[in-house]
Structure 1
Amino acid sequence: MPRLFTAIEIPDDVGDALATYRGGLLGARWIDVENYHVTLRFIGDVDDDVAQEAAFELGRVRRAPFDVTIEGLDAFGGDRPRAIIARIAPSKDIVELQAELERLMRRVGLPSEKRKFAPHVTLARLRDASPRAVADYLGLRGGPARLSFRAERFVLFSSRDSVGGGPYVEEAAYPLR
């Protein structure tokens, strides 16, 4: 099975608003709007048995829908910027959902995620973009006014190992109820 991850999808209207920030940064590979998402748990390249067990475990999640708020633009990578992102305001709901997915994937036998959860939407991957150019880009753009949407489900996606991510295939969807 291909590379797997769980995510919250970005609604079309929010994606369209975020897409207005595309362009104006040398060395940026802009993510296609239809591939915008908030990664909850990267699962990785797993065999079919592990993929099926993970999909089954994800079906155990019982959580209510919740609001997701995008609070601004930022960059990952510090002195070696590697991505332009839209920051998601941390909330108890999204943090608890991510923690539950982490526990379920560890139950399946996957190693724990090493990076601290920082909810975001990747807008562009950067290659050879200078920290100054990224700072200028962020300073000029300012970022979106707070955009909010209701997360009604999360999705198990697969992807091929590719430059820039995508295309993503929905393998299963899990309603928040």
Structure 2
Amino acid sequence: MRCFIALRPSFFQTRALTALGDRLRCGRQVAEDDLHLTLAFMEKASQDALEDLNALLDLLKPGPVMLGFHGVDQFGRDKPKSVHALALHEPGLIALHDRIAGLCRRADLSVPKRRFVPHVTLARFRNQITPAEIERTGMFLEANGTFRLDPEPIHEVELIRSTLTPAGAQYDTLASYDLR
């Protein structure tokens, strides 16, 4: 099963991020209810490993983490694969990412070791993006480079199942964990 552990932005942040994504006007916008910041992604997770992880996450109590945003960017330099809002590199956010990745490995779940770029995806692009969409994306990034949302405390993380469908990923929350 494909799963990930994520933070959900606050209600106010979610509304602001949705309004920001609406301005892009190309790509496949992420639905408001699906906006999240992935802390750890697991391509293949067994039920046993998820049960072990569940027990470990129940004990995770680092306190609320501050989540704020500064600017926008894209993955894929020449042809964007996605556009996202960049999260502030708050020390608590980075520490939470590191701790959760460690707990996943302790539960024998494979988590890719790559540089953590904290972000919330606003829109995704198919492989065949048009030159007009590339230009529009560039203009969007330039016009919204100073986008900011002040940090707010986030009090829980979620374990979410991701099911791939022809219309895109479908997310189902399997469990929530209070950080307090």
Q: Same fold (TM over 0.5)?
A: yes
**Helix, strand or coil: the match of 2:53?**
helix
Runs of 4 or more consecutive aligned structure 1 residues displaced over 6 Å after TM superposition = none
In the alignment, which residue of structure 2 is the partner of 1:13? Answer: 12
CA RMSD of aligned residues (A): 1.8
Say whether residues 1:141 and 2:141 are aligned partners. no
Distance 1:146 1:132, change over 3 A: same
**Helix, strand or coil: the match of 1:90?**
coil
Listed as ranges, the gaps of 5+ residues in structure 2 are: none
1:164 aligned residue (168, 172, 177): 168
Once structures 1 and 2 are overlaid, which stretch shifts more, 144-153 or 29-38?
144-153
- Give the residue type in structure 2 aligned to 1:56: A
- Give the residue type in structure 2 aligned to 1:109: D
Once structures 1 and 2 are overlaid, which stretch shifts more, 56-65 or 98-107?
56-65
Question: How many angstroms apart in 2 are the aligned matches of 1:68 and 1:24?
Answer: 23
Question: How many angstroms apart in 2 are the aligned matches of 1:135 and 1:55?
Answer: 41
CA deviation profile, 1:112-144 (whole Å, cap 9, x unmatched) = 423211110000001215544321121233453
In the alignment, which residue of structure 2 is the partner of 1:71? Answer: 70
User: How big is the shift at 1:42?
Assistant: 0.5
In the alignment, which residue of structure 2 is the partner of 1:176? Answer: 179
**Alignment check: 8 A CA contact 1:87 1:120 kept:** yes
In the alignment, which residue of structure 2 is the partner of 1:102? Answer: 101
**Alignment check: 8 A CA contact 1:66 1:93 kept:** yes
Distance 1:32 1:143, change over 3 A: farther
**Helix, strand or coil: the match of 1:99?**
helix
- Give the residue type in structure 2 aligned to 1:16: R
User: How big is the shift at 1:64?
Assistant: 1.2
Identity across the alignment (%)? 26
In the alignment, which residue of structure 2 is the partner of 1:47? Answer: 46
**Alignment check: 8 A CA contact 2:41 2:111 kept:** no
- Give the residue type in structure 1 aligned to 2:168: G
Question: How many angstroms apart in 2 are the aligned matches of 1:75 and 1:89?
Answer: 16
Q: How many residue pairs end up in the alignment?
A: 174
Instruction: Output the TM-score relative to the length of structure 2.
Output: 0.87
In the alignment, which residue of structure 2 is the partner of 1:36? Answer: 35
